[in-house]
Amino acid sequence: MATSQPPLRFTSHKHLAHRLVLATLTGRAVHISQIRSSSPTNPGLAPYEISFLRLLEAVTNGSHIEISYTGTILVYKPGLITGSAPGSGASGGVIKHELPAGCTRGISYFLIPVCLLAPFSKASFNILFTGPGVITSSTPTGDMSVDSVRTAILPLFSQFGIFNNIELRVLRRSNPDRNGKGGGGEVQLIFGHQVRLPKTLHLLNPGRIKSVRGVAYSTGVSGSNNARMIEVARGVLNPLVSDIYIFSDVSSAPLVPAPEKNNPNAKRKIGIGFGLSLVAESSTGCLYSADVASPPSGGQPPEDIGKQCAYQLLESISVGGCVSMAGAPTVLSLMAMGSEDVGRLQVGRDIISHEAIVQLARDLSQFGAAGWGVRDAPEENKSGDVIEMLGGRLRDPIRITKKLAIFFNRHRAGSSMRGTNPRHRHLNFALSFAKGLPNFVVNGLSVHSIVGIKIGVLAPIVSGTIITNISTSYNVRPRDLENITFRFPYPFRVDVT
């Protein structure tokens, strides 16, 4: 039987969430050390990182998590991605995940990685994010707002043939509270489109900007702040684009329990603030986003927020390419999960040279992805400030719920294997992978009765042996295999499904 792989080793807390997502998709255990080990006051995992680990445990079955006493070392052994399947911890088909009050990251920190897992799940995702730590606006830590996730990130999945039953509901808005911690919002994610493999992406023409959409939101403050932000933002963008529509959303501040000595049922308002989210769409469907929110300490007028967001959007467009920096990790990860065809994506030089994208390429390579090819974009698309990327696919299975089943059935001697020696007591059956399709060889001869081949994966590593008499079903992750060798009595037939 297949032996387990040694864990991949990483250091530092940076890119922790995406590494855990890649580990879950590939079925590889990871060992992450030196997590804020040099911090004198807050070493180890942060509250939002522990909350993300709990979320992974909720949407998977069989995951094993080990954290050292100081919190500076994490060992994660992933399980099967089950989503909101019955019996997986979901109540009424909904997984309720509560974020702690000390959370300093926006809800997009949790939404974007979960959306990468959802297409390859056994069942649909239906997750309700609640608790005093939910922040729906953009944050000083660099997280985008829930509106930008809904309008600029989720539409990217349609480029890969993933578009049905995907919804992101904002049930209660919130901004970062004092010190940037907590918000008290509520968000529900529904992701019901599961696929075997994403479609191959060929996106090489950025096109021209045709429209700008946005959401101005005020939580617990006057709605006039929205009008002031919209007016200034339109003043910057109107000379450039005529089709502009910015929606205004005004809501009350969320209440959280704050018991006092004389009033144990007391509550207080948190998550007060305002902000603006803008998304520009090109004639070819490319999306560029910008997000700015009022600082937790306050003191910034709405006019500055509107102007800053408009110029941030123009800067995102000026970088070039077919995807913005905010959406690049999602698109590149989905390209790595696709079929064996080479995908092509045109991105700006500032994006491909960004530290986060370079580290993403290294992580994908360590998890078994094919390398990226980089070359200058054609002159007709843009000048030399844009490059073209050739993405491959992971050499191991991304959807770990995929099963390889081989059945052996007893038949009359000689009925299935002609040309073999009847005196052989046992035959050796070897299954190997070459160029994505399996080759079947029995004692040096090809197998005649193979039906229903539905496997198209490349696999490296371990071998195993099984002895069977009548029938055997061998379920395995293709990453764990290079050759599977079986021994069984002579009369047989092999069906691969």
Nearest in space to 157 (alpha carbons), one of 286, 331, 399 = 331
- What pLDDT is recorded for position 179? 81
The predicted pLDDT at position 380 comes to 63
Nearest residue to 401 via CA among 129, 72, 27, 1:
27
pLDDT bin (cut points 50, 70, 90) of residue 10 is: very high
Least confident of 196-205, 243-252, 344-353, 379-388: 379-388
Model confidence band, residue 13 (pLDDT cutoffs 50, 70, 90): very high
Residues facing residue 429 across a β-bridge: 442, 486
pLDDT at 488 over 90: no
Q: What is the pLDDT of residue 242?
A: 92
Is the predicted pLDDT of residue 382 greater than 80, yes or no? no
Considering only residues 129 and 393, tell me which one the structure prediction assigns the higher pLDDT: 129
**H/E segment holding residue 369:** none
Tokens 């995940």 locate to: 97
Instruction: Please give the pLDDT value at position 297.
Output: 87
Beta strand 30-33 pairing with 8-11: parallel
What is the pLDDT, as a whole number, of residue 17? 96
pLDDT at 166: 96
Low-confidence winner among 39-53, 279-293, 423-437 (lowest mean pLDDT):
423-437
DSSP string for residues in 426-447: EEEEEEEEETTEEEEEETTEE-
Mean pLDDT along residues 110-131: 95
Q: Is the pLDDT of residue 276 over 50?
A: yes
| Chain segment 177-211, per-residue pLDDT in tens | 888 888 889 999 999 999 988 998 889 889 999 99
The predicted model gives 80-87 an average pLDDT of 85
Domains of the chain, earliest start first: 8-391 (3.65.10.20), 406-496 (no CATH)
Q: How confident is the model at residue 1 (pLDDT cuts 50, 70, 90)?
A: very low
**Residue 252, Cβ density class (10 Å: 0-12 exposed, 13-18 middle, ≥19 buried):** middle
Q: In the predicted model, what is the mean pLDDT of the chain?
A: 78
Q: Which two tokens stand for residue 272?
A: 């007060």
pLDDT in tens, 426-475: 333 344 333 333 333 333 333 333 333 233 322 222 233 332 222 333 33
- Whether the pLDDT of residue 494 is over 60: the answer is no
The pLDDT of residue 492 is above 60: no
**pLDDT given at position 477:** 39
Q: Is the pLDDT of residue 123 over 50?
A: yes
- Sheet containing strand 437-442, edge to edge, reads 445-446, 437-442, 426-434, 483-489, 463-467
Give the span between the Cα atoms of 114 and 112, in whole angstroms.
5
Global pTM reads 0.77
Residue 247's DSSP bridge partners are 215
pLDDT interval class at 373 (50, 70, 90): confident
3-state secondary structure of 375: strand
Percentage of the chain beyond pLDDT 90 is: 56
Closest CA to 184 of 249, 127, 137: 137
Do 202 and 338 contact (CB within 8 A), yes or no? no
Q: Concatenate the DSSP letters of all residues of 23-35 into one string.
A: HHHHT--EEEE-S
pLDDT at position 387: 57
Give the DSSP letter of residue 321.
B
pLDDT, position 425 = 32
Mean pLDDT of 239-260: 91
Task: Identify the band that residue 172 occupies on the pLDDT scale cut at 50, 70 and 90.
Answer: very high
What DSSP assignment string belongs to 93-135?
TBEEEEPPTT--S-THHHHHHHHHHGGGSSS-EEEEEESTT--
The mean per-residue pLDDT over the stretch 262-282 comes to 91
Whole-angstrom distance between the N-terminal and C-terminal Cα of the chain? 20
Which carries the bigger pLDDT value, residue 434 or residue 214?
A: 214
452: phi > 0 → left, psi -120 to 50 → alpha, else beta; which?
left
The three-class DSSP label of residue 306 is helix
Taking residues 26-34, report their average pLDDT: 94
pLDDT at 118: 96
Tell me, what's the pLDDT at 496?
37
Which residue, among 44, 41, 102, 39, has the nearest Cα to 69 in the 3D structure? Answer: 44
**pLDDT (0 to 100) of residue 278:** 98
